[in-house]
Chains A and B, each alone.
Chain A
Amino acid sequence: MSYKKTINVALIGNPNTGKTSLFNELTGLNQKVGNYPGVTVDKKEGHSKLQSNLKAIITDLPGTYSINPTSLDETIVLKTLLNSKSEKTPDVIVVVADVENLKRNLLLFSQIKDLEIPTILAINMADQMKRKGITIDLKLLKKELSNEVVLLSVRKDPDQGIKEVKKAIIKTYNSAKAFPLCNVNNRIDPAYFDRLKEINPKYSIYELWLMITQNSFPDKISEDEKKALLTFKNDSKNLKKYQHKETIYRYQKINEILKKTYLADRSKATDLRAKLDKVFTHKIFGYILFFTVLLLIFQSIFDWASLPMDLIDTVFANLSSYVNKTMPAGVLNNLISEGIIPGIGGIIIFIPQIAILFLFISLLEETGYMSRVVFLMDKIMRRFGMSGKSVIPLISGTACAIPAVMATRNISGWKERLITILVTPFTTCSARLPVYAIIIALIIPDKKIFGIFNLQGLTLLSLYILGFITAIIAAIILHKTLKIKNTSFFVVEMPDYKLPSLKNVFFDVIEKTKAFVFGAGKIILSISIVLWFLASNGPQAYTDVEKNIIEKTVSQEITEVKLNQMIASAKLENSYIGIMGKSIEPLIKPLGYDWKIGIALISSFAAREVFVGTLATIYSVESDDDDITTIKQRMASEVNPETNTKRFNFPVGMSLLVFYAFAMQCMATLAIVKRETKSWKWPLIQFVGMGVLAYICSFVVFQTLS
């Protein structure tokens, strides 16, 4: 008999156990990031073939030390497990443990066992046993836990490990046996738990207990049952005490089992960790090292990204003109060659920078170094209302704020997390660079000072520093004004140093780059199409432009190129977007901008980098969007008719730089902030606050300089 069947398998484990490595080995390229129903956190899923007639959907749950959550990431684990009686939930759970910290890993295992879901214990990093002086009696351990146990080393010997895990999954699935490991109820208050069980015997006692302590209920539970459960909350003032007792009892049980089955001879352990920690967490060298690492990262981003970026630029420019020439002329041609292709190009061009930065961040996390940075930076960041863990989002923000905001999920304090989310967009993201580059080229002379420092480079560096300092100041203000009590507390595991797994780094970079492409990409692309429409359509005056100009210039001697440029630029002036630009001119005049810059400002509220492209269209430059020299020359020769001086003079340029440094001009980030904070309140505050700051600062800069 041959039939095909698919089962759900979930991977659970403490952070740093190699859970993700196992997931990557099991699923390979068959993985994707989806959404948990009802929750807005990404879910990593993949397919794996267990045997010819049995397939598994593998879910990689966020790393956690226990079922009792203290951060958003960990809440997912609880929610997935509590819904275990519905059909989309795990048939088999694989608890991934690290051989060196087996005792602590078994706590999570014991909690999951008590939910009475079929479970496998996969003890990873078995190749380290000899070096750490560890021996395990596997046979006895299986018996003591009455559970399937697999020893594996995903890094060293993935094929063997995967084979064993698959075998264990099939075996456990077929027997479908699940018993609790620790009958915690009998040890704490049997009468209390007996009454609890009566509410609905379909659920295990531990499940019902979790519903009470975590205030989290499965979707299928009835209102009456929920009410009955809530009375238990009032019934016992000792909820917290019971939880403490539960944990201590679990450890007693685990210690009993490990005493018989697990032996660690600490004298054989090497002290590489201690030696490295002496340097990496040193009160002085630790910081010097960290800032050197940061400097090297930024240096490499600029060095390595420029070549692929130029390449992408050329490819899309050529593609655009190729389509324009080969397709029959008309609206569709214009839409594709002037709206869609430049729109997609505008997204792809950022991938090199973003991918390179995430490559470094991922490497630092994989080696275990990032935890040391969190340790070093925590006290400093706390002064600003953030946590040591906020360092990672703030660094990621220099690539793109979208994955950066998502990286705040492991910050357990809500206030610390919220402040990090709100200030991250101040850091200089890659979308600001094209704007900075062209304005700096216009207003700052390409000169060296003191013989080595390039003035333009220094200006760019100051803008980066300005971004960081503003983020810090904003954080301090939020810290002082937000009346939110920080309830959770801070604990970070300092994992052992290890060589990064290139496979994990690869998948991590892909995942984060995808978050940018699909998060920001969708919005940037749709806005480019809307912009194209607004710029190429308009009321009656727009349609008459061509006729009027030809009539007006019929007596003059001008070239056809010049005529076409005049028509294009007059068309834009009379298009919908031109009208919008003119209507905001009074508002932006005090900042030194005219209606043309106004158009660029409006369009870059979708995404900052659109600024350059829009100005190129406005000034009707007959070349591709990012050919800086031509746009630059055109911008440099633009004259302010009122004063008869250059439009992009020093005060206007500085005012623009400040505006782009501060204003919240990224719809995609606002959408992500809404998703992560579950309300429009915070993105709105962010948008208005940053906008007002940008306006005031640009006003002051322009008025003082001119």
Chain B
Amino acid sequence: MTTIASLHIGELAYISEESLNEIPLKLLEMGCLPGAEVELIQLAPLNDPLYICVNGSHLAIRKETASKIQIIKAQ
């Protein structure tokens, strides 16, 4: 399964429709919607938390959450 947690720094992807029900409501409300563009900006030590930019919002989320959100990597 390809999720936000498997992105490399600077890599772009799109949130997949499949994980809609796995995305916490709050994250959805902050712009993390299916189809939205997501970029990994920085990782804290031990790769957790992740600093991402999704739909224009700059957010830090924990690996636990990130590994539930499926993505489709940009070509």
In contact, B58 and A495 (Cβ under 8 angstroms): yes
Chain A residues whose C-beta falls within 8 Å of the C-beta of B74 in the assembled complex: none
Give the distance in Å from the alpha carbon of A101 to the alpha carbon of B59 in the complex. 12
Question: Is B57 interfacial (CB-CB < 8 Å)?
Answer: yes
In contact, B25 and A493 (Cβ under 8 angstroms): no
A375's contact among B30, B44, B46, by CB below 8 Å, is which? B44
Q: How far is the CB of B48 from chain A (nearest CB, A)?
A: 5
Chain B residues whose C-beta falls within 8 Å of the C-beta of A103 in the assembled complex: 31, 55-56
In contact, B45 and A379 (Cβ under 8 angstroms): yes
The A-contacting residues of B in range 52-75, CB under 8 angstroms, are 55-62, 64-65
Number of A-B contacts (CB under 8 A): 107
In contact, A489 and B60 (Cβ under 8 angstroms): no
Chain B residues whose C-beta falls within 8 Å of the C-beta of A240 in the assembled complex: 21, 25
Query: Interface readout for A370-410 with B: 1 if CB under 8 Å, 0 if not?
Result: 01001110110000000010000000000000000000000
Query: Interface readout for A227-259 with B: 1 if CB under 8 Å, 0 if not?
Result: 000000000000011011001100100000000
Question: Is A70 interfacial (CB-CB < 8 Å)?
Answer: yes
In contact, B62 and A104 (Cβ under 8 angstroms): no
Question: Is A575 interfacial (CB-CB < 8 Å)?
Answer: no
Give the distance in Å from the alpha carbon of A243 to the alpha carbon of B44 in the complex. 32
A283-B60 CB under 8 A given contacts A244-B28, A489-B26: no
Question: Is A630 interfacial (CB-CB < 8 Å)?
Answer: no
Question: Is A107 interfacial (CB-CB < 8 Å)?
Answer: yes
Which partner residue on chain B sits nearest A379 by CB separation?
A: B48
A378's contact among B21, B33, B44, B55, by CB below 8 Å, is which? B44
Chain A binding surface SS class:
helix
* A: interface residue count bin: 35 or more
In contact, A491 and B27 (Cβ under 8 angstroms): yes
In contact, A378 and B62 (Cβ under 8 angstroms): yes
Q: How far is the CB of A278 from chain B (nearest CB, A)?
A: 8
A379-B49 CB under 8 A given contacts A104-B30, A491-B60, A493-B30: yes
Which partner residue on chain A sits nearest B57 by CB separation?
A: A104
In contact, A489 and B45 (Cβ under 8 angstroms): no
Chain A residues whose C-beta falls within 8 Å of the C-beta of B28 in the assembled complex: 244, 247-248
Query: Interface readout for A100-119 with B: 1 if CB under 8 Å, 0 if not?
Result: 11011001000000000000
Which partner residue on chain B sits nearest A277 by CB separation?
A: B42
Query: Interface readout for A258-289 with B: 1 if CB under 8 Å, 0 if not?
Result: 00000000000000011001000101000000
In contact, A494 and B33 (Cβ under 8 angstroms): no
Question: Is A490 interfacial (CB-CB < 8 Å)?
Answer: yes
Query: Interface readout for B14-40 with A: 1 if CB under 8 Å, 0 if not?
Result: 000000110111111111011000000
A489-B42 CB under 8 A given contacts A65-B29, A66-B29: no
Give the distance in Å from the alpha carbon of A491 to the alpha carbon of B21 in the complex. 17
Which partner residue on chain A sits nearest B42 by CB separation?
A: A281
Q: How far is the CB of B41 from chain A (nearest CB, A)?
A: 7
Give the distance in Å from the alpha carbon of A283 to the alpha carbon of B46 in the complex. 10
Give the distance in Å from the alpha carbon of A196 to the alpha carbon of B31 in the complex. 28
Using a Cβ–Cβ cut-off of 8 Å, how many residues does chain B contribute to the interface with A?
Answer: 32
In contact, A107 and B49 (Cβ under 8 angstroms): no
A281-B44 CB under 8 A given contacts A378-B49, A493-B59: yes
Give the distance in Å from the alpha carbon of A429 to the alpha carbon of B48 in the complex. 31
Question: Is A499 interfacial (CB-CB < 8 Å)?
Answer: no
Give the distance in Å from the alpha carbon of A621 to the alpha carbon of B39 in the complex. 68
Chain B residues whose C-beta falls within 8 Å of the C-beta of A65 in the assembled complex: 26, 29-30
Question: Is A561 interfacial (CB-CB < 8 Å)?
Answer: no
Chain B residues whose C-beta falls within 8 Å of the C-beta of A490 in the assembled complex: 49, 60-62, 65
Interface centre among B23, B31, B49 (most CB of A within 10 A): B49
Question: Is A296 interfacial (CB-CB < 8 Å)?
Answer: no
A101's contact among B24, B27, B57, by CB below 8 Å, is which? B57
Question: Is A68 interfacial (CB-CB < 8 Å)?
Answer: yes
Which partner residue on chain B sits nearest A375 by CB separation?
A: B60
In contact, B60 and A492 (Cβ under 8 angstroms): yes
Query: Interface readout for A349-383 with B: 1 if CB under 8 Å, 0 if not?
Result: 00000000000000000000001001110110000
Chain B residues whose C-beta falls within 8 Å of the C-beta of A273 in the assembled complex: 58
Which partner residue on chain A sits nearest B48 by CB separation?
A: A379
Interface centre among A379, A388, A493 (most CB of B within 10 A): A379
In contact, A281 and B51 (Cβ under 8 angstroms): yes
Query: Interface readout for A198-238 with B: 1 if CB under 8 Å, 0 if not?
Result: 00000000000000000000000000000000000000000
Q: How far is the CB of B51 from chain A (nearest CB, A)?
A: 6
A283's contact among B25, B29, B31, B45, by CB below 8 Å, is which? B45
Chain B residues whose C-beta falls within 8 Å of the C-beta of A244 in the assembled complex: 20-21, 23, 25, 28
Give the distance in Å from the alpha carbon of A248 to the alpha carbon of B60 in the complex. 21
Q: How far is the CB of A308 from chain B (nearest CB, A)?
A: 38
In contact, A491 and B26 (Cβ under 8 angstroms): yes
Q: How far is the CB of A68 from chain B (nearest CB, A)?
A: 6
Give the distance in Å from the alpha carbon of A491 to the alpha carbon of B29 in the complex. 12
The B-contacting residues of A in range 427-475, CB under 8 angstroms, are none
Chain B residues whose C-beta falls within 8 Å of the C-beta of A277 in the assembled complex: 41-42, 51
Chain B residues whose C-beta falls within 8 Å of the C-beta of A70 in the assembled complex: 26
B60's contact among A107, A243, A251, A378, by CB below 8 Å, is which? A378
Q: How far is the CB of A88 from chain B (nearest CB, A)?
A: 28
Q: List 19 A-B contacts (CB under 8 A).
A: A65-B29, A68-B26, A70-B26, A101-B56, A101-B57, A244-B21, A244-B28, A274-B41, A277-B41, A277-B51, A281-B44, A283-B43, A375-B44, A375-B49, A378-B44, A388-B60, A489-B65, A491-B61, A494-B59
The 4 closest A-B pairs by CB, nearest first: A494-B58, A66-B29, A492-B60, A375-B60
